[in-house]
């Protein structure tokens, strides 16, 4: 029955199916209730079915979870080596929105340097929002989202998960997300091998693998015990004991002798009458003293033969030595026309004594000139 109104048509439905007798309406209502109650026990496992309550008889039956389903993060470790993929890089800790991840990076017990492993890894499940950012940002594919969702408990402290509780094997994750792991497996395992090379002792092994840790320690102990024996067998005869350590004076004397030997190497032996050359400073001083003496005696009357200049024995000896050196130098210059500097460089002398002799000779010549002028 349709009724027209100002705003449109109104359809009136008459649910009465003829005239009901006493009690028939109640029975019809009970029938509807019965149909719904009976239908609630039917399994509604298809979208075409509009009746039924149970989709899956949980917990006896469980729906398969999609691979990308994320609930709570876990840490992966390699089944064969037992090493964790986590390197303690802090990337997941930095990106976590509620800041529920806490990491402590491992250190080498000998050198104290950082090691690519985590000694402690804590996730507060009671505050985690299952966003999956930690799994997305992890550069080593060590943190993944688990599919376990039955975490209800009356003890809140038990929801603070440590590394031993977070560890899951790669085979476990392959069982729940084979496609996702196949995409990253090659890169993740290559990075893991690089991390293992930098992990000493049992650092980086999953804490739950106590047997693997014991075996690893025994292997390292056996290798350490076999190393000295192998070195003793392959090593050559022990060298002679090193000489005693030289004193600084002995080192200086040895070095001077080596330098002298190198300087004289290949040089012809000096003849017995080899002249003694002067140093540049002594030669210059002797030449200057001679020029001064010549200037002082220039124009002066020659001194009588009976008026010699009296010198002390030491001065006379030094003057005689200076005269011999000057004669030898002149003789060498005539034999080989070389400069005074070249002659000086060929043979070292006592520069201090030669300089003193030149000064004394100059003083003697000056005194002689003064005596000549006075006479």
Q: Looking at residue 150, what is its pLDDT?
A: 92
Are residues 75 and 84 in contact, defined by beta-carbon separation less than 8 angstroms?
yes
Pairing type for strands 143-145 and 73-77 reads antiparallel
**Domain termination site, one of 176, 201, 216:** 216
Tell me, yes or no, whether 174 and 292 share the same domain: no
The 3-state DSSP class for residue 83 equals: strand
Residue 315 lies in a domain: yes
Tell me, yes or no, whether 203 and 83 share the same domain: yes
Could you give the angle at the alpha carbon of 363 between the alpha carbons of 347 and 366, nearest 5°? Answer: 125
Print the domain residue range for 175.
73-216
Tell me, yes or no, whether 196 and 285 share the same domain: no
Residue 40 lies in a domain: no
Residue 273 lies in a domain: no
CA dist., res. 141 & res. 351, Å (int): 81
Tell me, yes or no, whether 93 and 204 share the same domain: yes
Residue 196 lies in a domain: yes
How far is Cα of residue 183 from the mean position of the Cα atoms in its chain?
32
Q: Looking at residue 44, what is its pLDDT?
A: 76
128: domain CATH number is: 3.30.70.3270
Residue 319 lies in a domain: yes
**Domain termination site, one of 193, 216, 239:** 216
Per-residue exposure over 272-287, b if at least 16 CB sit within 10 Å of its own CB, e if not: eeebbbbbeebbebbe
Tell me, yes or no, whether 314 and 211 share the same domain: no
pLDDT under 70: residue ranges of the chain? 1-2, 13-20, 47, 54, 229-250, 264-287, 289-290, 292-320, 322-323, 326-327, 329-355, 357, 372-375
Tell me, yes or no, whether 111 and 195 share the same domain: yes
Q: Is the pTM of this model over 0.85?
A: no
Tell me, yes or no, whether 184 and 85 share the same domain: yes
- Total domain count, the chain: 2
Residue with tokens 């376990």: 148
Q: Looking at residue 340, what is its pLDDT?
A: 43
Tell me, yes or no, whether 87 and 207 share the same domain: yes
Tell me, yes or no, whether 80 and 207 share the same domain: yes
Dihedral of CA atoms 32, 37, 42, 47 in degrees, nearest 10, equals 60
Q: Looking at residue 182, what is its pLDDT?
A: 96
Tell me, yes or no, whether 80 and 191 share the same domain: yes
**Domain termination site, one of 182, 216, 250:** 216
Q: Looking at residue 258, what is its pLDDT?
A: 80
Q: Looking at residue 281, what is its pLDDT?
A: 59
Q: Looking at residue 172, what is its pLDDT?
A: 96
Structure token digits, residue 322: 């200076």
Tell me, yes or no, whether 194 and 77 share the same domain: yes
CA dist., res. 315 & res. 318, Å (int): 5
Residue 39 lies in a domain: no
Residue 147 lies in a domain: yes
Tell me, yes or no, whether 79 and 200 share the same domain: yes
Q: Looking at residue 368, what is its pLDDT?
A: 73
Residue 303 lies in a domain: no
């Amino acid at each position: 029955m349709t009724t027209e109104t100002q705003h449109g048509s109104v359809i009136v439905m008459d649910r009465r199916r003829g005239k009901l007798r006493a009690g028939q309406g109640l029975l019809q209502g009970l029938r509807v209730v019965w149909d719904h109650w009976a239908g609630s026990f039917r399994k509604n496992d298809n979208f075409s079915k509009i009746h039924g309550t149970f989709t899956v008889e949980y917990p006896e039956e469980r729906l398969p979870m999609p691979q990308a389903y994320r609930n709570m993060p876990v840490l992966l470790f390699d089944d064969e080596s037992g090493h964790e993929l986590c390197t303690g890089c802090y990337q997941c800790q930095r990106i976590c929105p509620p800041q529920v991840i806490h990491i402590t990076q491992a250190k080498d017990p000998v050198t104290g340097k950082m090691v690519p492993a985590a000694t402690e890894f804590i996730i507060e499940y009671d505050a985690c929002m299952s966003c999956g950012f930690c799994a997305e940002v992890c550069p080593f594919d060590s943190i993944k989202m688990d599919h376990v969702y039955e975490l209800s408990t009356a003890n809140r402290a038990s929801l603070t998960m440590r590394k031993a509780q977070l560890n899951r094997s790669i085979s476990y994750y392959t069982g729940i997300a084979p496609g996702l792991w196949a995409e990253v497996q090659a890169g993740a395992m290559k990075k893991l091998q690089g991390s293992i090379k930098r992990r000493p002792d049992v650092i980086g092994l999953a804490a739950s693998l106590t047997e693997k840790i014991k075996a690893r320690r025994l292997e390292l102990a056996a290798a350490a015990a076999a190393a000295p024996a192998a070195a003793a067998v392959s090593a050559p005869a022990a060298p002679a004991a090193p000489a005693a350590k030289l004193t600084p004076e002995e080192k200086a004397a040895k070095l001077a002798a080596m330098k002298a030997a190198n300087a004289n190497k290949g040089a012809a032996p000096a003849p017995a009458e080899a002249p003694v050359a002067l140093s540049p400073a002594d030669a210059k001083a002797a030449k200057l003293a001679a020029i001064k003496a010549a200037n002082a005696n220039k124009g002066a009357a020659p001194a009588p033969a009976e008026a010699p200049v009296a010198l002390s024995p030491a001065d006379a000896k030094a003057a005689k030595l200076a005269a011999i050196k000057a004669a030898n130098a002149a003789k060498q210059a005539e034999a080989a026309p070389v400069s005074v500097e070249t002659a000086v460089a060929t043979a070292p002398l006592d520069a201090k004594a030669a300089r003193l002799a030149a000064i004394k000779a100059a003083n003697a010549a000056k005194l002689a000139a003064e005596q000549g002028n006075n006479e």
